[in-house]
Chains A and B, each alone.
Chain A
Amino acid sequence: MNFQWLVAVRFLRQGRFQSVLIGVGVAMGVAIIVFLTALINGLQISLIEDTLGTQAHIVLKPRAEQARRLTSEAEGRSLTLVQQSPQRLTTIDQWQRLLPVLARTPGVRAVSPLVSGPALAIQGAAERNVTVTGIDPVSYRRQIPVQDKLVAGAYQLGPDQVLVGLDLANELGLDIGGRLRLATGRRDRVVSVSGIFDLGLRDLNLSMVYMHLRSTQTLLDLPGGVSRIQLQVKDIFSAEAIANNLKRQHALQAESWMSTNGELLNGLRSQSLSSDIIRFFIAVSVAFGIASVLVVSVVQRSREIGILRATGTSRRQVIGIFLWQGGLLGLGGSLLGLLSAAALVLLFTHLVPALPFPIPLTAPLMISTAALATGTGLIAAVLPAMRAARLDPVEAIRG
């Protein structure tokens, strides 16, 4: 058995009251860090799912049409007028060839083409402005699970079938099988409702109409074209980086959810920052707790340290003994803290049955917190260890 480890364990065991006290202190710190972080993570995941559950992580669009510069010269003077171009509905060039390339892009989970544009939904005398979104039902359901959000009907999109939002159905008095006319400036088409969905957002439920891609291409006068390609990524926080890469690689506009949901992102970042600040201060108090116990231990054990030094124990070994003690207090407290955090999560989940989100206790969170506490214990032990190593054995033995 390693000498320094043995001495450290025996010293901790002999001063078991102090060891248990500081171990419980560390455990409380670890439990609070783990529980609080898991709670905030759960809240964030829930927020992200609620917000991003109905939108793509990255949207690729054709580049905006550039403004034209009109210049005239007369009598040596020039006059420049920049006139903003109107943005027409245009297609992404070669989108069929682009889809498999995008699907193979690292970090991308699903790819779906779509075309969308404005239309008027007419039912009898009632009219509503809507956005008709033409989708490929198979690839789109892998991105946005509309089928799970249906409150009536089925996820079925034949050539003349549409899915409409709950609020639009109520406004226009539509039911499954009900018919309505979709009119754009150039064309119109009579379609029947095959499903009614509830996306959880009134605006979307009022304006969104899903139609098959081909039917929509005809309705919006964009035959064979798609106006957007939507991507879902594996790690939502990598969306911006992937979007920037795609922007560089293809002559397209690429917008990630992170650039279009700045407020959400700021909120998430603020939550993470608060969580980090709490973790930092808890880690500092754990460090002070361990350091103070070890400083007291150095004073209490100065005679023993003197005896160890007189019997051939080197200064480095004395430092090792106290570092082991700090590390063991951190590790022991961490393990106890992880158990307490698990118990807290169980208790909280049972006490609050209508908790709107789960509290995920993940292995990386637990391992990183335990490592943080153990590392803190080690760092906290450095000063007491140096102090112990500097003790004059003669003075120490005399007490």
Chain B
Amino acid sequence: MAEPILTLNGVTKRYRVDTPAEVEVLHATDLSLAAGDFAALIGPSGSGKSTLLNLIGLLDRPTTGTICLDGQETARLNEAGLTRLRGQSLGFVFQFHHLINAFSVAENVCLPLMARDKRLNRSALAQAETLLDAVGLGGFGSRLPSELSGGQQQRVAVARALVADPALVLADEPTGNLDTGSADEIFALMRQFNRERGTTFLIVTHSTELASRCNRHVHILDGWVTEDVH
């Protein structure tokens, strides 16, 4: 079996929501993703998908349990360390593309590299152009995100998620806002990168058809990760 990229051990998350009592939205969760996994996270609204994704994405900290990402125990890291690890090892694709319109398409793709290197340099732009070629948007680098269609914008978001060569890409309903054709294309693109580069993907989706194309299915219901089937 391949080296685990992500390991969750007994992870829970509790929130204090307008009452003195805490509400546990994620119960003791054990999960492991190996290099090259192409996993679907499936669950209804309010089941705890976003909470789980935020924890894995190091955007939030678990109440109990441990998360080990890319060989690093995250509980030991401070805020700066988490930010650094996020920049190095994680890529994000959101439901809405969330590109920044103040930057060109190529610069949007470069964002993780700029944050890591503290500057925008030519090699980063060249890397961005290569990835844009790979997602079928060669020559679009100098345009603004607002000049692209929804499907094209999401492809740029995929390129942005991959530009720093992360170990794990978290995709939060990446096709939820696209028509069927564009959704197919985006999914195929991610699968292609998974196969060609060995990048691990964890994709939140409601579509059983798209989920069926994944090699692992993680189910979540009422905060319980109920199934993890290879």
Contacts and interface: CB of A to CB of B under 8 A. Distances in A.
A14 B101 contact: yes
B35 to A, nearest CB: 21
Interface string B113-132: 01111111000000000000
A304 B164 contact: no
Interface string A293-319: 000000000011001111111111100
Interface string A4-30: 101100110110000000000000000
Nearest to A310: B92
A314 B84 contact: yes
A1 B111 CA distance: 13
A393 B86 CA distance: 12
A393 B54 CA distance: 10
A13 B104 CA distance: 13
A201 interface: no
B100 A307 contact: yes
A394 B54 contact: yes
B98 A312 contact: no
Nearest to A320: B118
B103 interface: yes
Contacts of A10: 102-103
A14 B83 contact: no
Nearest to B101: A14
B120 A1 contact: yes
A314 B85 CA distance: 11
B87 to A, nearest CB: 2
A266 to B, nearest CB: 54
Contact of A308 (B79, B88, B111, B116): B111
Main secondary structure of the interface of A (DSSP, over half): helix
B111 A393 contact: no
B80 interface: yes
A316 B81 CA distance: 12
Nearest to B121: A1
Contact of A303 (B86, B98, B117, B120): B98
Nearest to B88: A312
Contacts of B62: none
Residue from the set A1, A2, A310, A394 with the largest chain B CB neighbour count within 10 Å: A310
A2 B121 CA distance: 9
Residue from the set B59, B92, B118 with the largest chain A CB neighbour count within 10 Å: B59
A394 B59 contact: yes
B118 A2 contact: yes
B80 A6 contact: no
B60 A394 contact: yes
Interface string B52-82: 0010010110000000000000000001100
B98 A3 contact: no
Contacts of A316: 80
Residue from the set B79, B86, B115, B117 with the largest chain A CB neighbour count within 10 Å: B115
Contacts of B83: 309, 312-315
A365 B85 CA distance: 48
Nearest to B172: A397
Nearest to A303: B98
B87 A315 contact: no
A394 B51 CA distance: 10
A310 B115 CA distance: 10
A323 to B, nearest CB: 15
B94 interface: yes
A311 B160 contact: yes
Nearest to B85: A312
B228 to A, nearest CB: 24
A14 B103 CA distance: 9
A317 to B, nearest CB: 6
A308 B110 CA distance: 11
Contacts of A6: 114, 120
Interface in A229-250: none
B223 interface: no
Contacts of B92: 310-311
A313 B120 contact: no
Given A6-B120, A312-B164, A394-B59, A304 B84 contact: no
Nearest to B100: A304
A310 B116 CA distance: 12
B94 A312 contact: no
Given A3-B118, A3-B119, A10-B102, 18 more contacts: A2-B119, A3-B117, A6-B114, A10-B103, A14-B101, A304-B100, A308-B111, A308-B115, A310-B57, A311-B92, A312-B112, A312-B164, A313-B87, A313-B111, A314-B80, A315-B80, A317-B115, A394-B59
11 contacts: A2-B119, A6-B114, A303-B98, A304-B102, A308-B111, A310-B86, A310-B92, A313-B111, A314-B80, A393-B59, A397-B94
Which 3 A-B pairs give the minimum distances between C-beta atoms?
A312-B87, A10-B102, A312-B115
